[in-house]
Amino acid sequence: MSYLKNVLSICGLFLLFFVASSSSVFAFSFSPPPDEKTGAPGEGTCADCHVGNALNVSGGSLIVTIPETYEPNEVYTIIVDLSRAGQSKWGFEMTALDANKVRAGSFAADGAANTQLTETNSKQYIQHTTAGTATGTNDAHSWEFEWTAPDADIGPITFYVAGNAANGDGSFTGDYIYTEQAESTPPVPTVAGVSLEIVGDTTHATMNAVAGVNYTLKVTNTGNMMDTITLEASAEVGIEGSVLGALSDRSVELEAGAGAEVTLKVAGDLFTAPGDYDITVTATSETDKTMAAEVTTTTTIEASPPPPPPTPWDVNGDGTVNIQDLVLTASELGQSGEALTGDINGDGAVNILDLVLVSSHFGEDTKAVQ
Ligand code: HEC
């Protein structure tokens, strides 16, 4: 079997020699080279025929310049740089494929006829022309042409290229084959995102609706780019009283992934009725208003304890009505005006009537009354 194989491959080589040497006679030439030799998956390389030197042997280089990212329908300049000291004739072939090995975008041959286009198995190839081999150009050569990106984001695109740094002897020997590939990706789409949370308890109670309660909120930009996030506080519709939610910031500018703390003050006015008051805070991305997050705080306004029953006759407020209270009242006797502790009946003046009131409660325990 192995003998037969050798015979066959030797026959193949002879055939190759024959075709090569008779190319001038039959006007059949391997310049341009056959398609599907770029080294792409499932393809061969120029080294299938250009034998004698190992593929990608050191001493030469093949460099491709492609767009790192592509925008649909955008036109890009592609450069193929091939070099190897001592060589003097040059060739290349390139194709661009998506992840499914399907043709991606379109090459355009350069105006100077150094490159040409071919198609095989629905794949497009660009390669050197006879003029494009730049025969006699020593040590290095490059080709420049355009490529138009596909009309949509089709994911990463790989450019496969093979180059032949040849010696110009008109045969496939003494040549150096290099392969290279480079990937172009679609730009990462920007995504907006917001998260909002209450730091600590989501509920608080207070008896002082005017002073209110402060909540700390943490707003985070969960998107992948800089964003401005707007904040809004809204009270439950129809809630009794007039409890309001006030935010320390109405908008915050945040880097991707960054967060900031914002204070929500829930406070009411003097007439706020006791009860539970829900204030909802909504954080919305300015870039994408469909991206929003919300939290709700519940503030309980507790009823103040009823004021102690008035016992103005306990003038010094020590819990019992005795001679001291009488003395205090007497000390203000004859005075008139507001805020007189001795004005027991509240008529604006301290007189005998007030002394009578204190006396009538003499000995009472005012603590017990409360
Ligand atoms: C099927 C075999 C075969 C493949 C594959 C092949 N070549 Fe060739 N190539 C030849 C033969 C035969 C010659 C010599 C005859 C000629 O110049 O046409 C040649 C010659 C050349 C020459 C001129 C060499 C010199 O020293 O004068 C260049 C340049 C070249 N090929 C480039 C390429 C490139 C680039 C590839 C890969 C994309 C490639 N070839 C793939 C068979 C092949």
Question: What digits encode the pLDDT tens for the residues 43-59?
Answer: 999 999 999 999 999 99
Determine the distance separating the centroid of ligand 1 and the alpha carbon of 255, expressed in angstroms. Answer: 55
Q: Is the pLDDT of residue 27 over 70?
A: no
Flag the least confident range among 24-28, 53-57, 72-76, 240-244: 24-28
Q: Is the pLDDT of residue 180 over 80?
A: yes
Q: Is the pLDDT of residue 36 over 80?
A: yes
pLDDT (0 to 100) of residue 224: 93
pLDDT (0 to 100) of residue 39: 97
9, 21, 23, 31: residue to mutate for ligand 1 pocket, most atoms within 8 A of CB? 31
Ligand 1 nearest atom to the CA of residue 44, by list position: 5
Tell me if 168 CB under 6 Å of ligand 1. Answer: yes
pLDDT (0 to 100) of residue 309: 64
Whole-number Å distance between alpha carbons of 160 and 145: 15
Determine the distance separating the centroid of ligand 1 and the alpha carbon of 172, expressed in angstroms. Answer: 6
What are 298-325's pLDDT values in tens digits? Answer: 999 888 777 666 788 999 989 899 999 9
Tell me if 35 CB under 6 Å of ligand 1. Answer: no
Asked if omega into 187 is within 30° of 0 (cis), the reply is: no
Ligand 1 nearest atom to the CA of residue 163, by list position: 35
Tell me if 53 CB under 6 Å of ligand 1. Answer: no
The model's confidence at residue 241, banded by pLDDT at 50, 70 and 90, is low
The model's confidence at residue 22, banded by pLDDT at 50, 70 and 90, is very low
> Residues 176-202: what's their mean pLDDT?
94
Query: CA end-to-end span of the chain, whole Å?
Result: 117
Tell me if 37 CB under 6 Å of ligand 1. Answer: yes
The model's confidence at residue 240, banded by pLDDT at 50, 70 and 90, is low
> Residues 281-308: what's their mean pLDDT?
90
Look up residue 284 and give its two tokens. Answer: 């919305």
pLDDT (0 to 100) of residue 30: 53
Tell me if 312 CB under 6 Å of ligand 1. Answer: no
pLDDT (0 to 100) of residue 243: 75
> Residues 262-272: what's their mean pLDDT?
85
Whole-number Å distance between alpha carbons of 251 and 239: 26
Taking Cα atoms as reference points, which of 157, 152, 224 lies closest to residue 185?
157
The model's confidence at residue 8, banded by pLDDT at 50, 70 and 90, is very low
pLDDT (0 to 100) of residue 203: 93
pLDDT (0 to 100) of residue 24: 36
Q: Is the pLDDT of residue 66 over 70?
A: yes
The model's confidence at residue 189, banded by pLDDT at 50, 70 and 90, is confident
Determine the distance separating the centroid of ligand 1 and the alpha carbon of 128, expressed in angstroms. Answer: 11
With a pLDDT cut of 70, the percent of the chain lying above it is 88
Whole-number Å distance between alpha carbons of 76 and 145: 8
Assess contact for 244 and 266: CB atoms under 8 A: yes
Asked if omega into 312 is within 30° of 0 (cis), the reply is: no
Tell me if 341 CB under 6 Å of ligand 1. Answer: no
Assess contact for 68 and 188: CB atoms under 8 A: no
| Residue 132 Cα distances to 78, 127, 129, 224, angstroms | 15, 9, 5, 45
pLDDT (0 to 100) of residue 231: 97
What are 312-368's pLDDT values in tens digits? Answer: 899 998 989 999 999 999 999 999 988 898 999 989 999 999 999 999 999 998 876
What are 91-125's pLDDT values in tens digits? Answer: 999 999 999 999 999 999 988 899 999 999 999 99
Q: Whose CA is nearest to atom 17 of ligand 1?
A: 170
pLDDT (0 to 100) of residue 4: 40
